[in-house]
């Protein structure tokens, strides 16, 4: 009878632990969703607090090296980056990258996301030599992914193009912008707002090059697309 009682007690404890873990998992999802919404709304102070709580829940529930911890680190990094708090964002992205590489392997799309985000921090600070290899590696990973578009290749192309553009490396930036534009047009159609956004990036490039006619043509097309999507 004592043995049976012990088994029942242990079973109850396992059930309680499982329920508790499930509850914490749901809480983590809810917190991450709230972070995204607050981020979109520009409510960065509140988003920071919620993102920190989500990170704490992830570490306590899943362990410090779990992929969901990497997700929470990245989300908090994004909130800091949106505010220009690059010193706070950088170590978060680095830790997310380290966890991602161990959990998924070095060539996973999630790793590419962390690489891109860390590259954005470096580019924003003018640390171009540090940003470039991260962007290139992210592009290589995304190009080998199961879906040639998926948004990820375009993001990598655009980020690398902006980097080269910022450095005055116009001949290297132009083909990247063009390729990203072609992929967007094929995937989303020629009248999509994301196409207009890419066109606007190219307008600035051609203005800097001095190709005013091409800049004007692309600018007019971007405006037409914007007007259709209002």
DSSP letter for each residue of 157-180: HHHHHHHHHHTT-HHHHHHHHHHH
Average pLDDT for residues 96-106, to the nearest whole number? 96
Q: What is the DSSP secondary structure assignment for residue 35, as one 8-state letter?
A: H
* Whole-number pLDDT of residue 9: 44
Average pLDDT for residues 75-102, to the nearest whole number? 97
pTM of the model: 0.86
Q: Quick one: pLDDT band at residue 8, thresholds 50, 70, 90?
A: very low
Q: Is 150 left (phi over 0), alpha (psi -120 to 50) or beta?
A: left
- Cα separation of the two ends of the chain: 73
Query: Tokens 């590696």 identify what position?
Result: 137
Average pLDDT for residues 61-84, to the nearest whole number? 96
* Whole-number pLDDT of residue 147: 62
Q: What is the 3-state secondary structure (H, E, C) of 185-221?
A: HHHHCCCCHHHHHHHHHHHHHHHHHCCHHHHHHHHHH
Tell me which residue of 52, 77, 76, 63 sits closest to 25, measured CA to CA: 63
* Whole-number pLDDT of residue 168: 97
Tokens of 221: 């097309």
What would the pLDDT profile of 42-64 be if each residue is shown by its tens digit?
999 999 999 999 999 999 999 99
Question: Hey, what's the torsion of the CAs at 140, 146, 147, 152, to 10 degrees?
Answer: -40
Which numeric CATH code is attached to 147-230? 1.25.40.10
Rounded Cα distance, 154 and 119, in Å: 15
Q: What is the DSSP secondary structure assignment for residue 66, as one 8-state letter?
A: S
Rounded Cα distance, 126 and 135, in Å: 14
* Whole-number pLDDT of residue 24: 81
Tell me which residue of 107, 109, 77, 104 sits closest to 93, measured CA to CA: 77
Tokens of 100: 């991602």
Does residue 6 register a pLDDT over 90?
A: no
Which numeric CATH code is attached to 15-127? 1.25.40.10
Tokens of 159: 């980020």
Does residue 19 register a pLDDT over 70?
A: no
Mean pLDDT, the chain, integer = 90
Residues of the chain with CATH 1.25.40.10: 15-127, 147-230
- Is the CB of residue 149 less than 8 Å from the CB of residue 186? yes
Query: Tokens 């007019």 identify what position?
Result: 220
* Whole-number pLDDT of residue 130: 98
Q: Quick one: pLDDT band at residue 25, thresholds 50, 70, 90?
A: confident
Q: What is the DSSP secondary structure assignment for residue 146, as one 8-state letter?
A: S
Rounded Cα distance, 202 and 196, in Å: 10
* Whole-number pLDDT of residue 11: 46
């Amino acid at each position: 009878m004592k043995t049976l009682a012990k088994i029942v007690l242990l079973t109850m404890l396992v059930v309680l632990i499982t329920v508790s873990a499930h509850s914490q998992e749901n809480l983590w999802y809810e917190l991450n969703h709230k972070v995204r919404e607050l981020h979109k709304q520009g409510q960065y102070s509140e988003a920071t607090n919620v993102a920190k709580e989500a990170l704490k829940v992830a570490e306590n529930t899943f362990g410090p090296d779990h992929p969901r911890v990497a997700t929470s680190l990245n989300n908090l990094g994004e909130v800091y980056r949106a505010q220009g708090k690059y010193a706070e964002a950088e170590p978060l992205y680095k830790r997310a990258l380290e966890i991602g590489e161990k959990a998924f392997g070095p060539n996973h799309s999630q790793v590419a996301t962390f690489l891109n985000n860390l590259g954005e921090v470096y580019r924003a600070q003018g640390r171009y030599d540090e940003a470039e290899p991260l962007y290139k590696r992210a592009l290589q990973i995304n190009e080998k992914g199961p879906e040639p578009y998926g948004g990820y290749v375009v993001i990598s192309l655009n980020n690398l193009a902006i980097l080269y553009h910022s450095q005055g490396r116009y001949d290297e930036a132009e083909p990247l912008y063009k390729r990203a534009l072609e992929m967007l047009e094929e995937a989303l159609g020629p009248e999509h707002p994301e196409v207009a956004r890419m066109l606007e990036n190219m307008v600035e490039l051609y203005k800097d090059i001095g190709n005013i006619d091409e800049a004007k043509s692309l600018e007019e097309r971007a405006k037409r697309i914007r007007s259709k999507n209002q």
